Amino acid sequence: MLKELIESQPDLIVVDVKDSIESTVGYLHKNQEKIDLLFLDIQLADGQCFEIFNHVELTVPVVFCTAYDEYVLQAFKHNGVDYILKPFDDEEVFNAIEKIKRLKKSLSKGSLNSIQSLFHEKKGFQKSIIAHVGKKMIPIVIDNILLFHLENEAVNIYCADQKKYVVFKTMNEIESMLDDQHFFRINRQMVINRDAVKEIEPYFNRKIMVQATITIGPKIIVSRLKVTPFLNWLEQPS
């Protein structure tokens, strides 16, 4: 239905339709320069679409079309310029397309970062997170957290003062709260703060291991597919 709606516009054509992260990544590696706009659902056949951005440096704007409303912030951190909730109607799709056309007229292609920064300023990032200590709950300043680690269905947070706390949120929820200039999800169980990275050394199967600036129990392993994005992230200005 979405394909038919898009192609009902005389100047638009859908160049391809993919249903998985793997097929989308493969297509974008070869054909991204041919695309003006990408429509993405959150849930694909083999996982959440945000994994695509760990394998492809996307330079085209994205319209997210999804039944889930909890990923808005995460979407606008990943080239998102509109977010349409299912079930959507024709007008919402056409409005999103017109929005892209207006942006293309007013901004050069190299200004996508400026578009994203506007959304970042509008949405902002959380400054603190609620941790559990016995029967008490205390706010922890996110900038003081060096590592999030999922273990036994709870997330342990390790702070710069060597203290450890527990928060009851999913890793996806936590990731959506964080500024990706300062935090990076290195595997399914861990998100690390740039300030926590002291040293990096090779690990098995083309993975790498991070030595942290504080003593942390679990090994900090960057998954194989995220090694290159992680190293690129470390070199970016914070």
How many Å apart are CA 76 and CA 125, to the nearest integer? 12
Q: What is the CA radius of gyration of the chain?
A: 19
- CA dihedral (104, 108, 109, 111) in degrees, to 10, reads -110
- Which pLDDT belongs to residue 141? 95
Cα dist from 152 to 146, 168, 191, whole Å: 20, 11, 16
pLDDT reported for residue 195: 95
State residue 113's pLDDT score. 52
What's the per-residue H, E or C state across the chain? Answer: CHHHHHHCCCCCCCCCCCCCHHHHHHHHHHHHHHCCCEEECCEECCEEHHHHHHCCCCCCCEEEEECCCCCHHHHHCCCEEEEEECCCCHHHHHHHHHHHHHHHHHCCHHHHHHHHHHHHHHHCCCCEEEEEECCEEEEEEHHHEEEEEEECCEEEEEECCCCEEEECCCHHHHHHHCCCCCEEECCCCEEEEHHHEEEEEECHHHCEEEEECCCCCCCEEECHHHHHHHHHHHHCCC
The whole-number pLDDT of residue 108 equals: 52
* Domains with residue ranges and CATH for the chain: 2-123 (3.40.50.2300), 128-235 (2.40.50.1020)
| Alpha-carbon dihedral angle through residues 10, 86, 124, 192, given to the nearest 10 degrees | -110
This prediction has a pTM of: 0.54
| Residue 120: per-residue pLDDT | 43
d(CA 159, CA 142): 9
Low-confidence stretches of the chain (pLDDT < 70) are: 106-124, 238
> 15, 62, 28, 13: which is closest to 42 by C-alpha?
62
So what's the pLDDT on residue 99? 83
Strands 80-85 and 62-66: parallel
Predicted pLDDT of residue 156: 94
The span from the CA of 210 to the CA of 206, in Å, is: 13
Distances (CA, A) of 210 to 183, 188, 192: 14, 15, 10
100 vs 92: CA distance, rounded Å: 13
CA 231 to CA 54: how far, in whole Å?
Answer: 12
